[in-house]
């Protein structure tokens, strides 16, 4: 997002007039990016090698963090050897000969931080190390995080996700709230203990700080959980529950964190301020809803664009007919449009003061449900592959940066008690979240969450990039620096230790492993077909099938049939030109589309893949609670015709 004018180096380079003497700064930037790229390459290759040797305990995230730490060590040693790398910080305007009209001054947050820390800890000897940081945080979180989140949401197994929607929403919404409160209270107890033991002053850690820490560490990390689950290939329902929860609780944790910081400046320390509290709750709900709507708005735009000018069949015919030399191919356009509009959802949310990550998350979820149906097969797989590469590289960059920061951030505050309290409280909070909610959910679910699943869910609370991004944004007070340090340690511990222990644990809990999504999806749909659709088709189903799908995709009955007569004009405008005559054909074509599973695409889509993302409507009345009685009056054939 660094889109502002700052081409000092060009002016300077051309001023010197010599190509061989490009400004030092440009070379330095190139060297730093090269270092980052080398790190990524080493990570990719060594993790690949380890996997080839069947050593599955380390995945990309853990490897990236490890190499980032190695780089951190190297940087610290280089500094201690007296090699002051990159110390000439003010040498950026060699072309500046007289006073310019305007000067743009950028103070890095690290510099900003020194000021504060310098006051408290003037003996700190690591000040110059932090200049070495490889990435602009801005680049990291505005360029690399959104594709990771988008890809996570986009590749969520829609069918199973909707089948478990109720449970996933419960865990991610109420679970995160419980977790935040629980951690906050535990940590507040710990900080009181620290005050008693004389390890902290009375005003150092406020309740708000503790709740902030709770909110930050409540976000379980989709990236590392996906890595873990995919490597182990656990039971697919467990997979959906854990991954769906981790994707959605990021949204809740991000908004919760902001709501808590909104509360912060109003309250005068310990005193409870009801109006500020209400304001925080309002901000929480407002931002969550606003970001949801923003994400959905961009899906609607993408769906309508992809719907009108690029109908799949026309596109297909064009592709066949068109000579290879022609540049105006549709899959490229489709991919570009989806990419640009999805990124716009992030930017628009940012521009309007909402949460970009949350918007892009909902955008990804809804793009996968609606837009995808309007896009050609080739366009689908290309969009997915594009986001896959972005997400893969982004996750490597973010995790190596986490490892790097862990060893080079000059103002870590290690409080043994706080850290041990945090380690304890994340397990306590996870238990308080999973067990009671599972108990409640099992009352309604036909397909119960078993005890071993619950144990594994408590265990698999890995923390990662989103928690780090929330913790690193503010390091102005000692409490917040303690939070950053502790969050980094928690992330490292959960990714390495819990990640490595997951395999033996799954064995001892006797949970199915080595699941095959394709075979399973057949079992799953036949099972569903036997159960038949639920009579209690709720609001969601009505909305999705009667309005959203006909409005946004080529599937479903034409709007003209669904809407009342007085909406005729509207219905005709929003119906695609050929929906009536082609509907039958579509319903035949649809099952052959490749599935949007959680796999990273491994082979080109073949028409034999069991594509069943549209059979989810069989299940939608269930909402994961399986409450309704089995009703076979609507045969499944009928349901598949609606798709």
* Tokens describing residue 378: 């080739």
**Judged by CB under 8 A, which of 53, 103, 539, 637 binds a second copy?**
103
Closer to a second copy by Cβ: residue 133 or 544: 133
Cα distances from 625 to residues 163, 264, 346, in angstroms, run 8, 38, 32
Closer to a second copy by Cβ: residue 199 or 319: 319
**CA nearest 525: which of 629, 619, 592?**
619
First to last CA, the chain: 40
**Judged by CB under 8 A, which of 598, 618, 625, 639 binds a second copy?**
598
Closer to a second copy by Cβ: residue 92 or 442: 92
Say if residues 453 and 183 touch (Cβ distance below 8 Å): no
Q: How far is the CB of 563 from a second copy (least distance, A)?
A: 27
Closer to a second copy by Cβ: residue 417 or 498: 498
Check residue 497 for interaction with a second copy (CB under 8 A): no
**Binding-site string for a second copy from residue 184 to residue 223, where x marks contact by CB under 8 A and - marks none:** ----------------------------------------
6 φ/ψ angles, rounded to the nearest 5 degrees: -160, 50
CA 333 to chain centre: 25
Q: Which stretch binds a second copy (CB under 8 A): 43-51, 361-369, 483-491, 553-561?
A: 43-51
**CA nearest 166: which of 622, 638, 565?**
622
Check residue 287 for interaction with a second copy (CB under 8 A): yes
Check residue 66 for interaction with a second copy (CB under 8 A): no
d(CA 555, CA 542) in angstroms, rounded, equals 14
Check residue 597 for interaction with a second copy (CB under 8 A): yes
Q: How far is the CB of 352 from a second copy (least distance, A)?
A: 8
HSE-CB at 547 with a 13 A cutoff on CA atoms is 10
Closer to a second copy by Cβ: residue 103 or 197: 103
Applying the rule CB under 8 A, the residues between 377 and 396 that interact with a second copy are: 378, 381-382, 385-386, 388-389, 392-393
Applying the rule CB under 8 A, the residues between 164 and 183 that interact with a second copy are: none
Q: Which stretch binds a second copy (CB under 8 A): 214-222, 268-276, 374-382, 559-567?
A: 374-382
**Judged by CB under 8 A, which of 599, 632, 638, 641 binds a second copy?**
599
**Judged by CB under 8 A, which of 210, 229, 360, 413 binds a second copy?**
229
Check residue 443 for interaction with a second copy (CB under 8 A): no
Contacts of 104 (CB under 8 A, 6+ apart): 4, 6
Check residue 105 for interaction with a second copy (CB under 8 A): yes
Closer to a second copy by Cβ: residue 18 or 416: 18
3-state SS assignment for residue 85: coil
**Judged by CB under 8 A, which of 146, 152, 331, 464 binds a second copy?**
331
Closer to a second copy by Cβ: residue 186 or 219: 219
**Judged by CB under 8 A, which of 196, 274, 275, 324 binds a second copy?**
324
Closer to a second copy by Cβ: residue 56 or 448: 56
Angular region, 449: left φ>0, alpha ψ -120 to 50, beta rest = beta
3-state SS assignment for residue 630: strand
**Judged by CB under 8 A, which of 202, 273, 322, 638 binds a second copy?**
322
Check residue 328 for interaction with a second copy (CB under 8 A): yes
Applying the rule CB under 8 A, the residues between 457 and 496 that interact with a second copy are: 472-474, 476
Handedness of CA 545, 546, 549, 550 (dihedral sign): positive
Q: What is the DSSP letter of 234?
A: B
Cα distances from 115 to residues 130, 462, 477, in angstroms, run 13, 34, 11
**Judged by CB under 8 A, which of 189, 309, 436, 504 binds a second copy?**
309
Cα distances from 472 to residues 13, 145, 629, in angstroms, run 35, 14, 49
Q: How far is the CB of 615 from a second copy (least distance, A)?
A: 18
Check residue 578 for interaction with a second copy (CB under 8 A): no
**Binding-site string for a second copy from residue 250 to residue 279, where x marks contact by CB under 8 A and - marks none:** --------xx-xx-xx--------------
Say if residues 212 and 483 touch (Cβ distance below 8 Å): yes
**CA nearest 595: which of 111, 155, 244?**
155
Q: How far is the CB of 539 from a second copy (least distance, A)?
A: 29
**Binding-site string for a second copy from residue 125 to residue 164, where x marks contact by CB under 8 A and - marks none:** --x---x-xxxxxxx-------------------------
Query: What's the angle, vertex CA 589, arms to CA 583 and CA 592, rounded to 5?
Result: 155
Closer to a second copy by Cβ: residue 33 or 497: 33
Closer to a second copy by Cβ: residue 515 or 617: 515
Say if residues 250 and 224 touch (Cβ distance below 8 Å): no
d(CA 426, CA 423) in angstroms, rounded, equals 6
Applying the rule CB under 8 A, the residues between 601 and 640 that interact with a second copy are: 601-605
Write the secondary structure of 513-547 as one string of H (helix), E (strand) and C (coil).
ECCCHHHHHHHHHHHHHHHCCECCCCHHHHHHHHH
Per-residue b or e along 321-347, where b marks 16 or more CB atoms closer than 10 Å to that residue's CB? eeeeeeeebbbebbbebbbebbbbbbb
Q: How far is the CB of 259 from a second copy (least distance, A)?
A: 8
Check residue 327 for interaction with a second copy (CB under 8 A): yes
Closer to a second copy by Cβ: residue 28 or 76: 28
Q: How far is the CB of 330 from a second copy (least distance, A)?
A: 8
Say if residues 173 and 247 touch (Cβ distance below 8 Å): no
**Site residue total, a second copy (CB under 8 A):** 149
CA 468 to chain centre: 12
Q: How far is the CB of 201 from a second copy (least distance, A)?
A: 21
Residue in this structure with the two tokens 């990159």, named with its chain if needed:
86
């Amino acid at each position: 997002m660094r889109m502002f004018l700052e081409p000092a180096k060009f002016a300077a380079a051309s001023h010197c007039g010599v190509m061989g003497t490009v400004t030092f700064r440009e070379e330095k930037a190139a060297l730093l990016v090269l270092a980052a790229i080398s790190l990524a390459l080493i990570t990719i290759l060594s993790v690949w090698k380890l996997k080839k040797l069947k050593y599955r305990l380390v995945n990309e995230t853990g490897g990236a963090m490890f190499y980032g730490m190695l780089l951190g060590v190297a940087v610290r040693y280089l500094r201690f050897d007296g090699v002051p790398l990159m110390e000439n910080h003010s040498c950026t305007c060699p072309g500046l000969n007289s006073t310019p009209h305007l000067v743009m001054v950028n103070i890095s947050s690290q510099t900003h931080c020194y000021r504060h820390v310098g006051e408290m800890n003037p003996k700190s000897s690591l000040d110059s190390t932090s200049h070495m940081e490889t990435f602009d945080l801005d680049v990291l979180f505005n360029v690399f995080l959104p594709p990771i989140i988008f890809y996570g949401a986009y590749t969520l197994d829609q069918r199973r996700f909707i089948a478990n929607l109720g449970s996933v929403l419960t865990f991610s919404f109420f679970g995160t709230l419980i977790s935040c409160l629980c951690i906050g209270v535990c940590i507040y107890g710990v900080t009181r203990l620290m005050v008693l033991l004389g390890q902290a002053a009375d005003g150092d850690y406020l309740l708000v700080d503790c709740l902030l820490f709770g909110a930050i560490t409540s976000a379980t990390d989709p990236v590392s959980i996906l890595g873990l689950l995919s490597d182990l290939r656990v039971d697919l329902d467990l997979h959906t529950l854990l991954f769906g929860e981790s994707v959605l609780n990021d949204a809740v944790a991000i908004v919760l964190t902001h709501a808590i910081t909104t509360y912060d400046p109003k309250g005068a320390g310990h005193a409870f301020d009801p109006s500020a509290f209400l304001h925080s709750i309002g901000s929480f709900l407002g931002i969550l809803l606003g970001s949801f709507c923003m994400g959905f708005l961009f899906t609607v735009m993408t769906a309508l664009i992809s719907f009108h000018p690029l109908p799949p069949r026309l596109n297909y015919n064009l592709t066949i007919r068109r000579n290879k030399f022609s540049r105006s191919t549709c899959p490229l356009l489709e991919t570009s449009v989806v990419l640009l509009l999805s990124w716009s959802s992030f930017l628009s949310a940012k521009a309007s003061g909402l949460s970009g990550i949350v918007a892009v998350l909902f955008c990804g979820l809804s793009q996968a449900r609606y837009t995808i149906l309007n896009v050609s097969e080739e366009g689908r797989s290309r969009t997915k592959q594009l986001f896959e590469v972005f997400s893969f590289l982004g996750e490597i960059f973010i995790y190596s940066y986490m490892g790097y920061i862990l060893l080079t951030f000059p103002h870590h505050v290690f409080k043994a008690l706080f850290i041990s309290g945090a380690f304890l409280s994340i397990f306590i909070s996870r238990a308080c979240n999973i067990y009671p909610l599972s108990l409640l959910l099992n009352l309604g679910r036909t397909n119960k969450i078993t005890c071993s699943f619950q144990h594994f869910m408590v265990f698999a609370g890995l923390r990662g990039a989103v928690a780090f991004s929330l913790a690193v944004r503010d390091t102005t007070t000692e409490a917040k620096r303690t939070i950053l340090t502790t969050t980094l340690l928690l992330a490292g511990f959960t990714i390495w230790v819990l990640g490595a222990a997951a395999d033996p644990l799954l064995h001892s809990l006797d949970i199915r492993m080595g699941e095959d999504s394709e075979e399973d999806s057949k079992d799953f749909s036949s099972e569903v077909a036997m159960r038949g659709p639920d009579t209690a088709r709720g609001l969601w189903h009505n909305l999705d099938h009667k309005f959203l799908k006909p409005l946004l995709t080529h599937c479903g009955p034409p709007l003209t049939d669904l809407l009342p007569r007085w909406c005729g004009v509207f219905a005709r405008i929003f119906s695609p030109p050929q929906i009536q005559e082609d509907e039958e054909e579509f319903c035949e074509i649809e099952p052959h589309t490749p599935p949007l599973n959680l796999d990273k695409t491994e082979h080109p889509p073949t028409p034999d893949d069991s594509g069943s993302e549209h059979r989810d409507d069989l299940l939608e009345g269930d909402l994961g609670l399986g409450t309704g009685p089995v009703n076979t009056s609507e045969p499944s054939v009928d349901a598949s015709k609606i798709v």
